[in-house]
Structures are given as C-alpha cells and as structure tokens.
Amino acid sequence: MKKYKICVYAISKNEEKFASEWAKSMSEADEIIVLDTGSTDNTVNILKDSGVCVYEKVFNPWRFDTARNYSLGLIPNDVDICVCVDLDELFEPGWRDKLENAWGEDTVRARYRYTWNFNDDGSEGSVFWIDKIHSRYGFHWENPVHEVLVYNGEKNYSTVYVEGMQLNHHADPEKSRAQYLPLLELAVNEDPDNDRNVHYLGREYMYRAEWDKCIEMLKHHLDMPTSLWKDERCASMRYIAKAYAQKGDKQESVCWLYRSIAEAPYLREPYADLALMLYEMDEWQGVIYFSEKALRIKERPRTYICEAYAWGSLPYDLLSLGYYYTGQYNKAIEAVEKAIDLSPNDERLISNRSIMEKSASSKKAQ
C-alpha cells in the first residue's frame, strides 16, 4: 500500500466544546490545518495545544466558499490528499488506512459514509455518502452557503468509494441557522440558473414555515431545464406537498405526493410520506398499500436525499396501524413488533402492541 501525504483542513468559529476531541479524531493525518474565522471562546488555544496548525482571519461579508478556498490555499504544496471536515464531525478510528487503500494514482476524489445526525436513543438518523476528500490541485469551492467542491483540473475525473470509512456529525443544537437564508438568497441572485441552489432555497423556506415562498420556489425548481436529477425533483415535490398540508389543503398535498412517487419510484421517502398523509386522513387501505411499497425498497441510497424516518420505525408503525384499523390484528402485531425492534424505547409503540394483542385475544374469544 502506497503512503500518501494527507492533510485535514477545516474552518472554525467558537467550537471549544468540540476542538479537543476533533483534533484526536483527525490525528491520523500528517497535518491538520484550521482557519479560525473569529472565535471569541477558547477554540484557538485548545487547537494549538492539541498540535493543530491554526491560522486566523475574519471575513466580512461572510461566505462559506470564500473561507473554504482561503483554508484550501493554506495546505502545503506537497500534500497528496486533502480532507475537508468541520469541527463537529469525527472520523471513526482507522480512517486513514481505509482511505489510502482505496486511493489510486488516478484518483482525484473520494466518497465515504456520513452520519448527519443521531436519534435520541443513539441510533443513526440520516445517513448518506459525501465527497469532501480530494487531491491537492484542481479543486475550488463555490456557493456562499451549502458550498460544493468543483473540479477544473487536468487529470481525468476519477472518484473512489472508501468502504468502511465513517464520519459522524454531532451538530451543536444551540448554533443558529439564521445566516443560511440570506446566503441562499444571495446564491440564487448570483446564479439564478443553478437549480441546486433554487432547491435549497425552497427547502429553507420550508424549514422556516414560509409555505407560500416554499411552494413558489420549489415549483420554479421543477420548471428549470437543468433540474434533471430525479431524487432532488422528488424531494421538491414532497416539500411542496408538506407546504400544502400545512396550509390545510390535504387533497393538493396528496396529488403532489403521487407525483413524487412517479418521479422517483425507487425511493422510500415518497411512499412513506404518502402513507403518513393517508394516516392523517384515516384512509387505512392506502396506509397499508403505501407502507408496504416503502418497505419493499431494501437498499438505502447513498445520496443525501435520504430521510431518517423512512428508514426507521415509521413505515412499520404506519403499517401496524393500517392493519389494526382494518381488523387485521395478527398482522398489526407482527408489524408493530418490527417497529419496536427499530425503536425499542418508544413507549407509544409498546402501548400499541398491548392494545393490539388485547384486540386479537378478544376477537379470538368471540
């Protein structure tokens, strides 16, 4: 196995609660470089005491791509592999060996498994694969927020999947997302033909419960000639459906959920969303049908269009309720047992099982 020179690089601001553990997690690299962008806590001192090379620079106005590109420029010229992470992200031990084993002479980028969040019981929530590991030359960052790596190098573009390499995100719930909306609006104003940014802006309006803006922006995303990725188009349709439901128009919501299934029938999420909507409408046969359709999809996608609830207990939970309210008590018990296997501490599911068992016993006694 060839040894490569590996550099971890990051930007930071007020990350003292993560800094020490983060430095340990990154210690398998040859060099660790952090660009601090204005911490007022003890982040810089903790990183320096941990052996991290720290630079300091404040950016005004703030843009993530500007800061990322500046930090990228701090990496020594003789580095082979650059690993971009944030301070609230931790690699599981042994990541370097896995990366070097996968990296080849023609490789310019690597993808690896990423856990975006964790459930209350410690189990994984949203999981997908990301690609913020790249060769030293030929890359730069674009977009004021939700920044992406863009390749304009001379080598043929070659990406590897690093099986077994795991990065875990432990977000700080106290940190504000307030800067995201104005930066996304800036991104769309700068490049109105960028369908990805239009989708993200519509999604941000959804997060902020600005339902009319959400619908308008996501319909615009679907009308864009460059909006071709079915997974993301499906997500826009699901978000439009959610916005209509929040506005009280459940029938319009259902229509958009049917469209989302037609757009990407290989994804679990639209089936799960429609099953949940039909549950709210007491349409129990539909709940059964679409829950079963969701559960027939066994392979979790590697893209970020992957919702934790669709791969957790929810589909089995909905299925159990559909069976229960159609009098199929034994099937309901079987389904709720599977839901409990995925969420063993959920008291509602445990209570539901007891109710279903009593109903099955009463029916049998008749």
| Element containing residue 331 per DSSP (H, E) | helix 329-342
Q: Are residues 161 and 209 in the same domain?
A: no
Range of the domain at 273: 176-281
Contact 224, 198 (CB under 8 A): yes
pLDDT tens-place string over residues 15-72: 999 999 999 999 999 999 999 999 999 999 999 999 999 999 999 999 999 999 999 9
Answer with the one of 145, 169, 193 that is the final residue of a domain. Answer: 169
> Which of 147-171 are b and which e, b meaning 16 or more Cβ less than 10 Å from the residue's Cβ?
bebeeeeeeeeeebebeebbbbbee
Q: Are residues 158 and 198 in the same domain?
A: no
In a domain, 236, yes or no: yes
Distance (Å, whole) CA 357 – CA 163: 43
In a domain, 133, yes or no: yes
Q: Are residues 28 and 158 in the same domain?
A: yes
Answer with the one of 281, 306, 327 that is the final residue of a domain. Answer: 281
The whole-number average pLDDT for the span 302-330 is 96
Q: Are residues 163 and 72 in the same domain?
A: yes
Q: Are residues 148 and 214 in the same domain?
A: no
Q: Are residues 183 and 54 in the same domain?
A: no
In a domain, 321, yes or no: no
Distance (Å, whole) CA 276 – CA 242: 11
Note the pLDDT of residue 175. 80
Tell me the residue type at 106. D
Mean confidence (pLDDT) of the chain: 96
Note the pLDDT of residue 1. 60
In a domain, 366, yes or no: no
For residue 11, what are the β-bridge partners? 35
Answer with the one of 118, 150, 169 that is the final residue of a domain. Answer: 169
Q: What's the domain count of the chain?
A: 2
Work out whether strand 139-142 and strand 148-151 pair parallel, antiparallel, or are unpaired.
Answer: antiparallel
What CATH number is attached to the domain comprising 121? 3.90.550.10
pLDDT tens-place string over residues 196-245: 999 999 999 999 999 999 999 999 999 999 999 999 999 999 999 999 99
Contact 108, 149 (CB under 8 A): no
Q: Are residues 218 and 235 in the same domain?
A: yes
Note the pLDDT of residue 177. 80
Q: Are residues 200 and 159 in the same domain?
A: no
All residues at 6 or more sequence positions from 183 whose CB lies less than 8 Å from its CB, including other chains: 62, 63, 64, 144, 145
What CATH number is attached to the domain comprising 222? 1.25.40.10
In a domain, 91, yes or no: yes
| Residue 245 structure tokens | 């439901």
Helices then strands, each counted (H, E), the chain: 14, 10
Residue recorded with tokens 């896995």: 98
Alpha helices in 117-194 (DSSP H): 180-190
| Residue 127 structure tokens | 């999981």
Band of residue 364 on the pLDDT scale cut at 50, 70, 90? confident
Strands (E), the chain: 6-12, 31-36, 53-56, 81-84, 89-91, 109-115, 127-135, 139-142, 148-151, 159-169
Q: What percent of the chain has pLDDT over 70?
A: 99
Residue recorded with tokens 């690609």: 131
Band of residue 94 on the pLDDT scale cut at 50, 70, 90? very high
Q: Are residues 57 and 149 in the same domain?
A: yes
Q: Are residues 122 and 262 in the same domain?
A: no
Q: Are residues 191 and 146 in the same domain?
A: no
In a domain, 152, yes or no: yes
Q: What are phi and psi of 113, to 5 degrees?
A: -75, 140
**DSSP 8-state secondary structure symbol assigned to residue 157:** P
In a domain, 49, yes or no: yes
Tell me the residue type at 294. A
Query: Angle, to 10 degrees, between the axis of helix 195-207 and the axis of helix 180-190?
Result: 150
Q: Are residues 160 and 181 in the same domain?
A: no
In a domain, 318, yes or no: no
